[in-house]
Amino acid sequence: MRKIDLRSDTVTQPTERMRELMRQAPVGDDVYQEDPTVNKLEAEAAALVGKEAALFVSSGTMGNLLALMSHTQPGEEVILEADSHIYCYEVGGISRIAGLIPRPITGLGGIFTSKQLKQALRPENIHYPRTTLLCLENTHNRSGGQVLPQDQVVELAEAARNAGLKLHLDGARIFNAAVASNTPVQILTAPFDSVMFCLSKGLAAPVGSILAGSTNFIARARKFRKMLGGGMRQAGILAAAGLESLDVMTKRLAEDHRRAERLAEGLSAVPGLKVANPVHTNIVMLDITCPELTAACLVSAWAEAGIITAANSKYGMRLVTHYQITDEDVEYVIEATRTIIQQMS
Ligand SMILES: *Cc1c(COP(=O)(O)O)cnc(C)c1O
């Protein structure tokens, strides 16, 4: 049976070319910084996002945690968006491991205003923690892969700098943002001291993320990575796939965006379904508008048609396109959904 997995771009399998490069990769002990393939990946990644240095890490979650730890001291306060991945989906590592107090601000489309930031900043007072870091997320996952308006990012970054804050970008899908806004990725990362991006999502590598920033920052992060047990040895096997992600997979994301748009268009024409947010990149947030039908019902009906999805609320679902989703898959999903909804209502 046909299998179309729309749960996430994390489900992507490594390409044949990646597997071949992994087999051939020269490797060494990366804790000694002697793995030539990891060193090459880190150098290329740093240059690509316009930073001095980079670190290959096991996951986006670890990259963000290392950034939090490396920019701050325990007990300090971090300002972030209330729907951000760091605040919602990273198991509270910001507090449990980094020892920080998060200060969530509710934004619109993943970003709040510089006015909101200024209101949140605390005056000097013996009772208050020190506020030292601002984190933003681009594309913004919970608002459906929306691209942050760069002029608003620049304005917010300036306000944060004036208040003496450091800035970290959770850019898990920053290449999707660059492609969708037709902006070089270095422009999107320029206002930030550090950026994390995932190789293992739309870029299709099997494992890994990159954390990039200044040489000193990366030296600190490297030490914390070791502390957390993330010092890997012959990691060049994995980095080889990451190099292919940078060289090849960053350049084809517009296809995923086009398919997400077509999927949104096709599904919003089905009675009882509504696309919740503007589709900027590879994520479609879908809502059911007829109360008799729940997301769980649709998810299980889809599963019988070989379409794998997940509900994220009673009436809401998230569908993600990626390089293993073809034009034919998208048309099949639209047709199958039409039939399913007809039978159910
Ligand atoms: C996926 C994701 C992460 C975490 O990446 P993992 O590799 O799954 O740990 C962080 N931030 C955002 C916005 C993400 O989408």
Whether residue 273 sits in one domain with residue 136: no
Ligand 1 mutation pick, 170, 174, 188, 203, max ligand atoms within 8 A of CB: 170
Cβ burial of 215 (10 Å; 0-12, 13-18, 19+) is exposed
**Helix (DSSP H) and strand (DSSP E) numbers for the chain:** 14, 13
Give the domain-ending residue among 250, 268, 287. 250
Q: Is the pTM of this model over 0.85?
A: yes
Whether residue 237 sits in one domain with residue 333: no
87: pLDDT confidence band, cut at 50, 70 and 90?
A: very high
The residue whose C-alpha atom lies closest to atom 4 belonging to ligand 1 is 60
Domain with 266 in it: 4-9+252-344
Structure token digits, residue 184: 């070089």
The residue whose C-alpha atom lies closest to atom 3 belonging to ligand 1 is 60
Peptide bond preceding 139 in cis form (omega within 30 of 0)? yes
Give the domain-ending residue among 221, 250, 279. 250
Task: Please tell me the predicted confidence (pLDDT) of residue 67.
Answer: 99
Ligand 1 mutation pick, 85, 91, 283, max ligand atoms within 8 A of CB: 85
Task: Please tell me the predicted confidence (pLDDT) of residue 290.
Answer: 87
Structure token digits, residue 122: 């605390």
How many angstroms separate the Cα of 11 from the Cα of each of 42, 123, 324?
Answer: 24, 46, 9
Task: Please tell me the predicted confidence (pLDDT) of residue 292.
Answer: 86
Task: Please tell me the predicted confidence (pLDDT) of residue 344.
Answer: 83
CB 281 within 8 A of CB 145: yes
CB 175 within 8 A of CB 199: no
Whether residue 113 sits in one domain with residue 79: yes
Residue with tokens 């299980």: 300
Read off the CATH number of the domain in which 240 is found: 3.40.640.10
- pLDDT one-digit tens code per residue, 303-313: 999 999 999 99
- Measured in angstroms, how far is the CA atom of residue 212 from the centroid of ligand 1? 15
Mean pLDDT of 272-301: 94
- Rounded (5°) CA angle 164-170-173: 150
Give the domain-ending residue among 231, 250, 269. 250
> Which of 314, 184, 307, 323 lies closest to 249, judged by CA?
323
Where do the H-state alpha helices sit in 163-308? 174-181, 185-189, 215-227, 236-247, 253-268, 295-304
Whether residue 21 sits in one domain with residue 113: yes
The widest CA-to-CA distance across the chain, in whole angstroms, is 65
Q: At what angle do helices 215-227 and 60-71 cross, to 10 degrees?
A: 120
Task: Please tell me the predicted confidence (pLDDT) of residue 316.
Answer: 96
- Measured in angstroms, how far is the CA atom of residue 54 from the centroid of ligand 1? 17
Query: How far is the C-alpha of 214 from the C-alpha of 51, rounded, in Å?
Result: 6
Report the percentage of the chain scoring pLDDT > 70.
Answer: 100
Q: DSSP secondary-structure letter at 166? A: E
Mean pLDDT of 273-289: 96
Whether residue 264 sits in one domain with residue 229: no
Read off the CATH number of the domain in which 305 is found: 3.90.1150.10
Cα pseudo-dihedral 269, 147, 95, 66, rounded to 10: 130
Whether residue 100 sits in one domain with residue 232: yes
Task: Look at residue 345 and tell me whether its pLDDT is greater than 90.
Answer: no
Whether residue 287 sits in one domain with residue 228: no
Task: Please tell me the predicted confidence (pLDDT) of residue 2.
Answer: 87
- Measured in angstroms, how far is the CA atom of residue 270 from the centroid of ligand 1? 31
299: pLDDT confidence band, cut at 50, 70 and 90?
A: very high
- Measured in angstroms, how far is the CA atom of residue 307 from the centroid of ligand 1? 23
Whether residue 234 sits in one domain with residue 142: yes
Task: Look at residue 214 and tell me whether its pLDDT is greater than 90.
Answer: yes
CB 138 within 8 A of CB 192: no
Q: What is the SS3 assignment for 23?
A: helix
Cβ < 6 Å from ligand 1: which residues?
59-61, 64, 85, 137, 141, 170, 172, 198, 200, 209
Whether residue 122 sits in one domain with residue 145: yes
Whether residue 75 sits in one domain with residue 142: yes
Q: How far apart are the first and last CA of the chain?
A: 26
Whether residue 183 sits in one domain with residue 261: no
Q: Give the total number of structural domains in the chain.
A: 2
Q: DSSP secondary-structure letter at 146? A: B
- pLDDT one-digit tens code per residue, 28-81: 999 999 999 999 999 999 999 999 999 999 999 999 999 999 999 999 999 999
CB 274 within 8 A of CB 286: yes
Query: How far is the C-alpha of 194 from the C-alpha of 209, rounded, in Å?
Result: 13
18: pLDDT confidence band, cut at 50, 70 and 90?
A: very high
Ligand 1 mutation pick, 201, 238, 281, max ligand atoms within 8 A of CB: 201
Report the percentage of the chain scoring pLDDT > 90.
Answer: 96
Whether residue 170 sits in one domain with residue 98: yes
- pLDDT one-digit tens code per residue, 117-154: 999 998 999 999 999 999 999 999 999 999 999 999 99
Ligand 1 mutation pick, 7, 58, 61, max ligand atoms within 8 A of CB: 61
